[in-house]
């Protein structure tokens, strides 16, 4: 029987590429989304992947949403924590709300999503938790103290939880993308993109969402069973750890 994968933020950008790649690899896939009903409907129509709406920042909504997914698709074997937001502003201008919104979605969202599926993975002696962090969680980024703190926290979450899941057949890994050519990134002013961002990337280009999706597909597979607690950097050589 095909394993079930749930991708948060899975109907747009990197998440959509991950959802498509997992389906192509033979998984039964469900995609979570938070707000864009039109995009989610179009994605489902195009791919046949069902979409489910809730905010990963709300624990009760996550528990309810996960129950709906499992009733419709089956017990979740692979969880991809991809959903994330930005509220970029220099720290001296940052409001408590801008801090909390990003932390609640990008860091606490990992707890909210992983906690409800963890017991089932332990009982079945199999699980894959794949967390999409960021290059800016590794190196920091001015104007993104909230985002960098959350994405760095994702890496600590990954390393600690990997130790707890290892004996139960559950792997927990993180991917840190650099600048990926999503709709959001390509909307940046062309001059800024070409003169300030791409020159920082040694390979001389943006990454593609499908390149991140292929890493996720590997980490979800049985072939990655000995790999846990790892952080994979996919940034074109922009930052080394």
Query: Would you mind telling me the total number of residues written for the chain in this entry?
Result: 241
Cα separation, 236 vs 61, in Å, equals: 36
Q: Please tell me which residue in 27, 33, 147, 179 is annotated as part of the active site.
A: 147
Number of H helices, E strands in the chain: 10, 7
Q: Terminus-to-terminus CA distance in the chain, angstroms?
A: 39
Residues 39-62 as b or e (16 or more Cβ within 10 Å = b): bbeebeeebebbbbebbbbbbeeb
**In the annotation, is 179 catalytic?**
no
Q: Is the dihedral of CA 49, 85, 221, 169 positive or negative?
A: negative
Catalytically active residues are 147
């Amino acid at each position: 029987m095909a394993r079930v994968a749930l991708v948060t933020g899975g109907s747009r950008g990197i998440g959509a590429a991950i959802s498509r790649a997992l389906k192509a690899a033979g998984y039964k896939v469900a995609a979570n989304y938070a707000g864009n009903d039109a995009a989610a409907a179009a994605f489902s129509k195009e791919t046949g992947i069902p979409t489910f709406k809730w905010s990963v920042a709300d624990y009760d909504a996550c528990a309810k949403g996960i129950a709906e997914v499992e009733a419709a698709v089956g017990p979740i074997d692979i969880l991809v924590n991809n959903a994330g937001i930005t509220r970029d502003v220099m720290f001296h201008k940052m409001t408590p709300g801008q801090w909390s919104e990003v932390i609640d979605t990008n860091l606490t969202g990992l707890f909210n999503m992983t906690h409800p599926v963890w017991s089932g993975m332990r009982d079945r002696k199999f699980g894959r938790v794949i967390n999409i962090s960021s290059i800016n969680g590794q190196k920091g980024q001015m104007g993104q103290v909230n985002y960098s703190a959350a994405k760095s926290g994702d890496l600590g979450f990954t390393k600690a939880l990997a130790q707890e899941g290892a004996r139960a057949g559950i792997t927990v890994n993180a991917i840190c993308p650099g600048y990926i050519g999503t709709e959001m990134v390509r909307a940046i002013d062309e001059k800024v993109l070409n003169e300030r961002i791409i020159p920082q990337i040694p390979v001389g280009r943006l990454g593609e969402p499908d390149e991140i999706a292929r890493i996720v597909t590997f980490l979800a597979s049985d072939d990655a069973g000995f790999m846990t607690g790892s952080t994979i950097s996919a940034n074109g050589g922009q930052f080394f750890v």
